[in-house]
Structure 1
Amino acid sequence: MEYKYKLAKLQYDKEKIEELMTRQTRRVGLTFPQKLELEFWMLHLDRAQTNISQSFWVGVLTYFILIMLIVPGDYWIIDKQFFAHDFIHCLLSLLNGAVSLLLLYAFAQHTKLKAYFSQASLFIVFWLVISMTWLTMTVYTEALKHQAMMIICMIYILGYIITGVKPMHMLMTGLLAATVSMSLLFSMSIHFDAMVVGRVLVGSCTLGFAISKMLCARERMIFLNMLRADISEQIHRIHTTELLHLSQHDELTKISNRRTFDEMLNNFYDQARRNNSSLAVLFIDVDHFKNYNDFYGHQKGDRVISAIAETIKNAIRHMDFVARYGGEEFVVLLPETGAHGAYAVASDIYKAIDRLEIPHAKSLVSNHVTISLGITVYRAEDVSKEELLTVADQALYRAKQLGRNQIYYQSIRSAHVA
């Protein structure tokens, strides 16, 4: 029943995920329920940290190439009269960007700093926007100021894309950075085109927000598909496990069936031959069970079979194996067990069944349900598995011949002599 509960819960979860997927296609960027929303952003942030860590050397190479392209270009376009001032500002801008990226990498890579990655990302973007705006807007060469617009736009867009921070948080940070930057420029009486710079700052922030929202919508669908695939895999695994369980166990008694017994007998038999150890086989039969079924009905008969199977399972050791052999017959395998040990286990089973005191008015040997047991022990003799089972079956047959409701032991040697 437990597997049915798990299956029903997983099926319910899958339907909820599919419902969310349908809603996402109708309204892009729709948030999830609180728990799922938190899981999504944790995964999104973790993926961003992983991407930053794995792309470190690619980033270093890209930044180096960028420096190789920018520095010589700046050298040629800077007005000669302002060369020292403007060139130093350019170098400081490049250094500032490099330090900020290294700091972002440190928070993405270092175990103790990872918990603060989101806050650090917002601060780094905030700092980069303000510092780069000041450094680039305080130069005197107009061409460099135009170039600065592109750099600020890149900072905003990269801040949204590579950090994995929620777009709304980055939008608020970006707008605050834009406000502080403009205020700083005004307070320092720096000459700049306020309309152009304002459009670049606010426009880049808004553009980055729009791009980030679209990317997050795609990530949400990927996340939901991943969850659905994971749930489908769990459902498939439960079905497979249950089918395997059903193929190996008897449906009525829930113990192993004949097919599993054949497999276990092969294993125990080969182990006994290989290790030159003993293997005891017990055949068990419910006495006059046909009479019980005819008198009490098959439903009560099934309950008796189930009760006996449960009792046998509880009476044997953890290393032993029990299976329903067919009808009212059971078989027990006792690895590394000699005749005395096998007889002791058989006695425990016999007494446990007797203590059940299940009424049996049509029994010819007792007024309650009893069993007959046949025992044999294999000691690596030159006999096949089939011959071993035949000897155990002969022992059970002999117990029945002697009046049932008893235990009979027959050795392989005496069976061969007979």
Structure 2
Amino acid sequence: MEYKYNLAKLQSDKEKVEELIVRQTRRVGQVFPQKLEQEFWQKNVERARKHAEKYVWAGILAYFVFMMVMIPTDFWIVDKRFFEHDFALCLLGLIVGGLALLVFYFFSCLPRIKRYFSQASMVILFFTLVTISCLTMSIETVALQHQSMAIVTIIYILGNILTGIQPRLMLITGLLAASTTLVILMTFDFVFNTLVFGRILVGSCLLGYVISHMIFARERMMYLYTIRAKISEQIHRIHTTELLHLSQHDELTKISNRRTFDETLEIFFDRAKRAESALAILFIDVDFFKNYNDHYGHQKGDDVISTIAKSIKNAIRHMDFVARYGGEEFVVLLPETDAHGAYAVASNIFKAIERLEIPHEKSSVSRYVTISLGITVYRGENFMDKESLLGIADQALYRAKQLGRNQIYYQSIRSANSDNVIGF
């Protein structure tokens, strides 16, 4: 069965995810398979992009407030000997940071360029780090240099956290920015302590890498828990669907059961009554089925019931409804179908069973398995309820049996009420 195959596959997938959770907890080797690894980082980058699109204006506002605080305070910190030079560089550094935020936002939301979000994030981080680092080393006031170095460190760390990019790629970007900055500073003969500044730049990269690595280790666990929850939900849905199917269908024949028939008859009957349209009912019984069971065995009997149910289902229209009424009895509902249409459908069923040519040595009417079939048609009569309608269809089947079985018998509601039975 397809549902069993799907269920087994989902159970297998769930076991694999649970194994990955254990390995992630213990950090044993490469945890994620390559495909899952790619999906994880794609989702992380996309989530970071959406967060940037949604919250970057709040970040820009916070940055604006930060500038309003930094600019006046820098005024008091700057060495008066280098006031114009240092203050201009500080202001330029703040402008560069603001522009970087704006460009970051554009790549997070503009349709034509947002697919380059991850690449743009690394380029923006590289440019911002190199530019601000060079501006920092151009400042003469020592206190401002220390302040700017702290800002550079924060940029390194935030770049690792906010972009959703793999920590190793961000580490490479940071180290490349640090190396480029040192080369530029040495090329243009800036006066600075290479060891101290290099330790700050490289240390910031490593710190950002470690923090982001810890965060993404947690994200990996959350990602695995989410996958497991989705698989569990699918398994639960399959179980629920199958239980619903079993409650509505006969286990042997896979067609609707008596309970579902009762519910469907009520719906079809009320609809026909309101619309004053025709509703035909066919009652079907397998002839001499007890004799068949006694002679061939119950397993063969079950096979016959299952085969006949399938033949009936294939012989009716898509709008019709078939159910196993009980034992060897079946019932078919034909909405918007008059007596002639009902008889045509009944003939299709009758011929379909004949074509099966299932041997039946203990039948008194044929060498093969046959059926008796009773028909009645409801036309919206106000005096009729569904129980009475079902009783008339049962009477029609009884008359088919009385007249010798292996035949179709139609009984109208009017003739049933007047005991005037009419047969085809």
TM-score range normalised by the length of the shorter chain:
over 0.9
Provide the rounded CA distance (Å) in 2 between the counterparts of 1:287 and 1:247.
28
- Conserved 8 A contact 2:286-2:329: yes
Q: CA deviation at 1:54?
A: 1.3
Give the secondary structure class of the aligned counterpart of 2:331.
Answer: strand
Residue 310 of structure 1 aligns with which residue? 310
Would you identify which runs of 4 or more consecutive aligned residues in structure 1 move more than 4 Å?
Answer: none
Give yes or no for the alignment of 1:377 onto 2:373: no
Residue 109 of structure 1 aligns with which residue? 109
RMSD: 1.0
Residue 324 of structure 1 aligns with which residue? 324
- Conserved 8 A contact 1:160-1:212: yes
Give yes or no for the alignment of 1:409 onto 2:410: yes
Provide the rounded CA distance (Å) in 2 between the counterparts of 1:374 and 1:360.
22
Provide the rounded CA distance (Å) in 1 between the counterparts of 2:416 and 2:247.
34
- Conserved 8 A contact 2:156-2:208: yes
TM-score by length of 1: 0.98
Give the secondary structure class of the aligned counterpart of 1:363.
Answer: coil
- Conserved 8 A contact 1:82-1:140: yes
Q: CA deviation at 1:30?
A: 4.7
Provide the rounded CA distance (Å) in 2 between the counterparts of 1:277 and 1:138.
92
Q: CA deviation at 1:111?
A: 2.2
Residue 391 of structure 1 aligns with which residue? 392
Provide the rounded CA distance (Å) in 2 between the counterparts of 1:241 and 1:215.
39
Provide the rounded CA distance (Å) in 1 between the counterparts of 2:178 and 2:86.
23
Q: Which amino acid aligns with 1:393?
A: D
- Conserved 8 A contact 1:392-1:410: yes
Give the secondary structure class of the aligned counterpart of 2:372.
Answer: strand
Contiguous gaps of at least 5 residues in structure 1? none
- Conserved 8 A contact 2:56-2:105: yes
Q: CA deviation at 1:28?
A: 7.9
Residue 44 of structure 1 aligns with which residue? 44
- Conserved 8 A contact 1:107-1:114: yes
Provide the rounded CA distance (Å) in 1 between the counterparts of 2:387 and 2:144.
93
Residue 298 of structure 1 aligns with which residue? 298
Provide the rounded CA distance (Å) in 2 between the counterparts of 1:238 and 1:353.
34
Alpha carbons of structure 1 residues 160 and 348: separation in structure 2 relative to 1, 3 Å: same
Higher deviation after alignment, 22-31 or 259-268: 22-31
Residue 71 of structure 1 aligns with which residue? 71
Q: CA deviation at 1:147?
A: 0.7
- Conserved 8 A contact 1:28-1:217: no
Q: Which amino acid aligns with 1:20?
A: L
Q: Deviations over 1:102-138 (max 9, x none)?
A: 1111111122222211111111111111100111110
Give yes or no for the alignment of 1:22 onto 2:34: no
Provide the rounded CA distance (Å) in 1 between the counterparts of 2:346 and 2:12.
48
Q: Which amino acid aligns with 1:190?
A: F
Give the secondary structure class of the aligned counterpart of 1:330.
Answer: strand
Q: Which amino acid aligns with 1:397?
A: Y
Provide the rounded CA distance (Å) in 1 between the counterparts of 2:114 and 2:14.
32
Q: Deviations over 1:62-104 (max 9, x none)?
A: 1011001100011111122322211111111111111111111
Q: CA deviation at 1:142?
A: 1.2
Give the secondary structure class of the aligned counterpart of 2:359.
Answer: coil
Residue 132 of structure 1 aligns with which residue? 132
- Conserved 8 A contact 2:279-2:378: yes
Residue 249 of structure 1 aligns with which residue? 249
Provide the rounded CA distance (Å) in 1 between the counterparts of 2:90 and 2:291.
102
Q: Deviations over 1:331-352 (max 9, x none)?
A: 0000000001001100111011
Residue 340 of structure 1 aligns with which residue? 340
Q: CA deviation at 1:57?
A: 2.2
Q: Which amino acid aligns with 2:276?
A: N
Q: Which amino acid aligns with 1:379?
A: R
Contiguous gaps of at least 5 residues in structure 2? 420-424
Higher deviation after alignment, 315-324 or 38-47: 38-47
TM-score by length of 2: 0.97
Provide the rounded CA distance (Å) in 2 between the counterparts of 1:66 and 1:17.
45
Provide the rounded CA distance (Å) in 1 between the counterparts of 2:109 and 2:129.
23
Give the secondary structure class of the aligned counterpart of 2:165.
Answer: coil
Give the secondary structure class of the aligned counterpart of 1:198.
Answer: helix
Give yes or no for the alignment of 1:230 onto 2:230: yes
- Conserved 8 A contact 1:280-1:338: yes
Give the secondary structure class of the aligned counterpart of 2:285.
Answer: strand
Q: Deviations over 1:260-290 (max 9, x none)?
A: 1011101101110111101000000000010
- Conserved 8 A contact 2:23-2:31: no
Provide the rounded CA distance (Å) in 2 between the counterparts of 1:63 and 1:396.
86
Q: Which amino acid aligns with 1:214?
A: M
Residue pairs, 1:91-106, within 5 angstroms: 91-106=91-106
